[in-house]
Chain A
Amino acid sequence: MAQHFLTEEQEMIRDLARQIAQEKIVPMRAELDEQEEFPWEIMKLLAESDLFRIWIPEEYGGLGEGIFGLCLAMEELSRACAGVAVSYAGSALGGTPILLYGTEEQKQKYLPQLASGERLGAFALTEANAGSDVAGMQATARKVDDGYVLNGTKQWITNGGEAEIYTVFTITDRNRGARGSTAFIMEKGMEGFSFGKKEKKLGIRTSSTRELVFQDCFVPTAQRLGREGMGFIVAMKTFDQSRPGIGAQSVGIAQGALDEAIQFARERHQFGKTISSFQAVQHMLADMATEIEAARALVYYAARLVDSGDRSASKIAAMAKVFPSDMAMRVTTNAVQIMGGSGYMREYPVEKMMRDAKITQIYEGTNQIMRNVIAGNLIKEAAAL
């Protein structure tokens, strides 16, 4: 396979993640999907192998390999099981706001815990009435002496209940609109912080998606992330960092499906020949492989751009989420098609990959919202010329 100009360290990340994925995750993925149980055993393996350290800077116990390093691991884990991969990435999504906007004290406290994998992170923005339109948020944080009191319910939070460190977005001043939101670092076990129902899902079923419930939950001011009113900025800047990771997840899922489809096509005989000898099948495989390679190139480019600190990364980061996720949906659907009835059966992994692929078009901003972001940037850039 092409080398993509990786450094030795990046190759190491990719190879180790691939080894863990193929040796440890592949044999378990069907059962994890069936049982809908959180993959703690695998999370421990990833922790022991230092995979949680990748994106965190060295001064906080990480390896300083940035978003690109994280994307390489995501791709390989997703190739085996996207549900495991999102549980892994959910921790980075919860930690990224701390890295970007945390005080030195907050970073010293939380990043090493996330780096070692001893505690998982999560990111809580969505609510029942605030999906794409995050400004519809209702969870509030009321200022009191020495801190804030949180009330409200967050919905569909990845790693909910399993994670111990949560970045939670609230409204502190409803009159200020987008400037009225504030983020907090919350810990599992705080009084007034509990978990609601765990969702039953179409795909990524080993991952936990759960409600967070805050009832008169007091937090000291020291837990506030960024200044009051900066909540939406914290969330949006985090997405610029995390969206290439969803692109990497999509590339991994699609690659996993292509691997299966090729192997199957070479072995399955109909009309006295392997089905891989039919041009109709060959062209599907060719298109799938081409699209995967194009998406991978876009994801790697976006990740490198984000790591370089480029301030205009929003547009490319959105592209690196929308194209790969649409691609993954097409490729996994075609993998099922190539494998016929076998592809539809749970005995083979591609039906799961097709179910798993769907989420990549929805979370971290739907693909409609991604196109809004890209177009908004295009128009702004043109106007600035």
Chain B
Amino acid sequence: MNIVVCIKQVPGTAEVRIHSETHTLIRDGVESMVTVFTMGPPQAEAALREAVSYGVDEVVLVSDRALVGSDTLATAYAIAKGIAKIGAYDLILCGKQAIDGDTAQVGPEVAERLGIPFVAWVRKVEEVGDGKIRVQRMMDDGYEVIEMPLPALITVVKEINEPRLASLKGKLRAKKLEIPMWSAEDIGVEEDQVGLKGSPTQVMRIFSPEPRGAGERLEGEAEEVAQRLAERLKVMGFV
């Protein structure tokens, strides 16, 4: 099985490791080859080296000035092109969302571009093989079990796995490895579909929303709680 893991290097956070880690779950027990793929500035190489120290087989960095300023649509287009260049793949893993942009769009968009099925918010891979994959999708109140044919893409949540530790052999390999860097031309993207030109999104303003208060929980017998609630709502002038 060939597995591609998409990661994004995010400055100043430990979270980035989780994305590069998720492959471990599938790798154990399945004869597979894991390629970690990233698109970003040349220094994103560091994230790929870290991934190698955890034991991934191959890494690819797509980096080009022409790609600077790409929004999620353009990024997904470029990533899909890059993955197509890698060649045969059975499963693509992405993080649920990057913790800087927080859009959670790139994974699903890549699947759309490649014309393959996807499931977002995966918290567990139950089974993989025989041309299909069965996963658990995390919901607010439980989870759904979904099966789909391979090749497919999943975006995973933090709960999917604990980051594995690096190994010394992995670290030594990471130190020496030449990391292939592909340009926009290498992956064959149309110039007007990437970068600022290819990005319809316009960011007007970035702000942190007001944190919501902790809320209050009323506990006890249903009848009595309902009564207290009604009284509170009255006092607050809502009813």
Contact = CB atoms under 8 A, between A and B. Distances in A.
Interface of A: 8-9, 12-13, 16, 19-20, 24, 45, 48-51, 53-54, 63
Contacts of B169: 50, 53, 63
Interface stretch (B62-70, B159-167, B220-228): B159-167
B175 A8 contact: yes
A12 B171 contact: yes
Contacts of B175: 8, 12
A48 B171 CA distance: 13
Nearest to A20: B165
Given A51-B168, A63-B172, 7 more contacts: A16-B165, A20-B165, A24-B165, A48-B164, A50-B168, A50-B169, A54-B168
Q: How many of chain B's residues touch chain A, expressed as a range?
A: 10 to 19
Nearest to B163: A23
B165 A48 contact: yes
A48 B169 CA distance: 10
A16 B172 contact: no
Nearest to A13: B168
A249 B47 CA distance: 33
A9 B166 contact: no
13 contacts: A12-B168, A12-B171, A12-B175, A16-B166, A16-B167, A19-B166, A48-B164, A49-B165, A49-B167, A49-B168, A50-B169, A50-B170, A63-B168
A63 B168 CA distance: 9
Interface in B130-169: 164-169
Contacts of A53: 168-169
Interface string B204-226: 00000000000000000000000
A50 B166 CA distance: 9
A12 B165 CA distance: 13
Contacts of B167: 16, 48-50
A49 B169 CA distance: 8
A57 to B, nearest CB: 15
Contacts of B165: 16, 19-20, 24, 45, 48-49
B166 to A, nearest CB: 6
A158 B192 CA distance: 68
A148 to B, nearest CB: 38
B142 to A, nearest CB: 30
A16 B171 contact: yes
Nearest to A19: B165
A87 B134 CA distance: 41
A51 B168 CA distance: 7
Contacts of A19: 165-166
Nearest to B169: A50
A45 B175 CA distance: 22
Contacts of B170: 50
A49 B166 contact: yes
A51 B169 CA distance: 10
Contacts of B172: 9, 12, 63
A53 B168 CA distance: 9
A54 to B, nearest CB: 7
Contacts of A63: 168-169, 172
Contacts of A24: 165
